[in-house]
Amino acid sequence: MRKPEPSVVSSTGKNNKNNSMSNKLRKGLWSPEEDEKLMRYMLNNGQGCWSDVARNAGLERCGKSCRLRWINYLRPDLKRGAFSPQEEDLIIHFHSLLGNRWSQIAARLPGRTDNEIKNFWNSTIKKRLKVLSSSSSSTASPNASDSSSDQPNNKDFFTAAGGGGGFMNIIPPSMMPIYGDSSMQSTSLINHMFDPFPMVEHGGYYNNGNPCTAQIGSSVGSGADDCGFEENIEAFGNVNIGVEEDIFVPPLESVSTTDQDQNLKTETIFYDNNNYYSNSNNIIKGENMIGVGNYFEDDQDQGLTMGEWDLEDLMKDVSSFPFLDYQS
């Protein structure tokens, strides 16, 4: 942990040493005292307007800074520690679908923040993919494995795949049921997979700050310890997300484009013990899986569209929901 370095700027965000003290806002690393203030305020009052949070919590920070600190570090439902291989696979997978939409990717990885995933991608995965792709067949399109564009590129992806090299070659084995199945060569399935923005309009479980759907128990360990919290968050269902536990992957829906696919309302991908399951194949529904597919509607006139969350329905089974306050 870096030492907090108290630099001060004016409320306009520009450095201004002539401002009066009351108008000065701190920048840089957060001190433990500041963390404690923010934490205590959030737990007692919940999330409101962030500029009010900053002011009322007695912090000489801008609201934006408070928001970021809360989301990326203090939020009790955060999972800490290194990314598991499963999470790594998922990040690669979702990045191939969503590109640099880090918040969308984070929405599908309970307990992880967009910042965390972004950093992990830029520092670790990107490099690894580069190394792997450079060692793969030279016949592959350079674009197919060039993550520098950081955007999904369906055409190049499949060009490379067809060429026997490129990105397809660097998909982890555990991803192959999704990435590498020969049946995926069909147009409809390709469209299925590579609808570039299947959930852009929909936040998934984490979007809009909705709390984690998982139960974070003591097995998670370090997270609770770091925060000084006893974490036991229960919402929508119980899913263990410790590194060694099964991972529930919030759904990635696809748009049907063919007659054959008209009956397919949603494709929901689950990850469990190194296997992926899709409800489109009726494979899924483990006990701990949440029946998210039921919450989407199929608008036949306009193609498949995302339905609204039926919040009331969802909340029926939720007896306690400690973080709802933050959304009020």
Partner DNA sequence: AAATCAGTCAACCGCTGACTG
Partner DNA sequence: TCAGTCAGCGGTTGACTGATT
Check binding of 23 to DNA (CB under 7 A): no
In this structure, what token pair is assigned to residue 65? Answer: 């800074």
DSSP code per residue over 237-302:
B--B-STTS------------SGGGTT-----EEEETTEEEEGGGT----TT---GGGG--EETTT
The piece of 58-66, 177-185, 228-236, 271-279 that touches DNA (CB under 7 A) is 58-66
The only residue of 13, 142, 196, 303 in contact with DNA, by rule CB under 7 A: 13
- Bridge pairing between strands 298-299 and 303-304: antiparallel
Check binding of 5 to DNA (CB under 7 A): yes
CA distance 91 to 85: 10
CA distance 46 to 100: 30
The only residue of 37, 65, 75, 265 in contact with DNA, by rule CB under 7 A: 65
Positions in 265-324 near DNA (CB under 7 A)? none
The answer to whether the CB of 253 falls within 8 A of the CB of 266 is: yes
CA distance 256 to 188: 8
Residues 6+ apart with CB under 8 A from 21: none
The residue among 2 and 316 lying less far from DNA, judged by its C-beta, is 2
Q: Phi first, then psi: what are they for 15, rounded to 5°?
A: -65, 130
CA distance 171 to 150: 16
- State the number of binding residues for DNA (CB under 7 A): 44
The piece of 57-65, 162-170, 213-221, 292-300 that touches DNA (CB under 7 A) is 57-65
Positions in 89-108 near DNA (CB under 7 A)? 100-104
Positions in 192-211 near DNA (CB under 7 A)? 203, 207-209
Check binding of 68 to DNA (CB under 7 A): yes
Check binding of 328 to DNA (CB under 7 A): no
Q: How far is the CB of 15 from DNA (least distance, A)?
A: 8
Check binding of 154 to DNA (CB under 7 A): no
Q: Which residues bind DNA (CB under 7 A)?
A: 1-3, 5, 9, 13, 26-30, 48-51, 61, 63-65, 67-69, 72-73, 100-104, 114-116, 118-120, 122-124, 127, 150, 203, 207-209
